[in-house]
Amino acid sequence: MLPVTASTTDALKWPAELQLGSAACHVWFVFQDQARDAALLDGYRQLLTEQERSGELRFRFPEDRHRYLLTRALVRTVLSLYAPIGPTEWCFSVNAHGRPEIANEAAAVDGLSFNVSHTRGLVMMGVCRHGTVGVDTEHIGETPASMELAAHFCSSGEIAELRGETDDSRRSERLLEIWTLKEAYVKARGVGLSMPLDQISFSLPGSRGIEVAFSGGINDDRDNWAFWMLRPSPNHQAAVCVARPRGTTFALEARGALPLVMHQAISSAITRQSQ
C-alpha cells in the first residue's frame, strides 16, 4: 500500500458517496502511523460527541488514545459515504451483548450494518447492507503458539491440526487465523463471546479456501455466512464474516484510508475466502 498523507489529496479525494450493493461488503483499514498530523487529529475530535471526546481521555497511554480517536473518526466519516448524514450527526446504541449499532431513524440507513476492530498499529471497519458484518484484526507475533491457549477456543479438529504442525511460526500463524475467523463470526452474530468457540471449526482447503462447521449447541448453517481472510500489512492478520442469503455470492472490497483525506483499494490484501 502506498503511503497515505494529506499531501496526496490532489490525486485521490475523499469521495462524496460510495455505492454499496446488497451483496457487497466494504472493509476499511487505517494505519496509525499514517495519521499523526496534529491538525488533522484535532479535526477528527471536532466530529465526535462530548461523550466520545471524554472517552479518549480515559485511556492512560497515548497510543491507545490515538487509536480510539481514529476508530471513532473512521466510523463517522465512512458511514457518511453510504448515507446523506454528516459525520457529526450519527447516533449509536449497543445491543444486549455490547455490539454498537446505528440508531439514526433515517430511511437511508435502513439495512446498513458496520463493525470495527483494532489492534496495535491498525484500525479496521466493515460495512454492508441487508446483512450483519463482523470483523477482527490482530497484530502478528502477539499471539503465542500455545496449545494451552488453543484449548480454550479451538475445536478438537483444530487442536489436532495444530499439534501436527512442526513449525512453531506456522502454528502461531494458524492459531491467529482461527482466532480472527471465530471472532469475526461471533461479532457478526452479535451475541458476544458466550458462544462455545470450541464448537466452531475452521479449515483452510487448497490455497485460497475457507470452510466452517458447527457442532453441539450451535444451531447454524455454514451456507448462511461468507468469510474472508486478509493481510492488510505484513504485521497484521484480519478476518471478515458477513451474513448472506442462501445462494448469494458476496463480493468484498478492501480500502486503506486516511479519514476525510483519501482512500485507495488494497485488493491484494485478500488471501482466502469461502465459496
Please tell me whether residue 77 adopts helix, strand or coil conformation: helix
Q: How far apart are CA 225 and CA 234, in angstroms?
A: 27
Residues 54-86 have pLDDT tens digits of 999 999 999 999 999 999 999 999 999 999 999
- 191-226 confidence digits (pLDDT tens): 877 789 999 999 999 999 999 999 987 889 999 999
Helix (H) or strand (E) holding 179, with range, is helix 168-189
Whether residue 163 is predicted with pLDDT greater than 60 in this model: the reply is yes
Closest CA to 252 of 81, 80, 27: 27
Task: Give the number of residues written for the chain.
Answer: 275
Answer yes or no: are the C-beta atoms of 254 and 271 closer than 8 Å: no
- Nearest Cα to Cα of residue 181 among 239, 133, 126, 244: 239
Superfamily of domain covering 20-274: 4'-phosphopantetheinyl transferase domain (3.90.470.20)
Q: Cβ of 199: how many Cβ atoms within 10 Å?
A: 14
Q: Are 196 and 178 in contact (CB under 8 A)?
A: no
What gap in Å lies between CA 256 and CA 266, rounded to an integer? 6
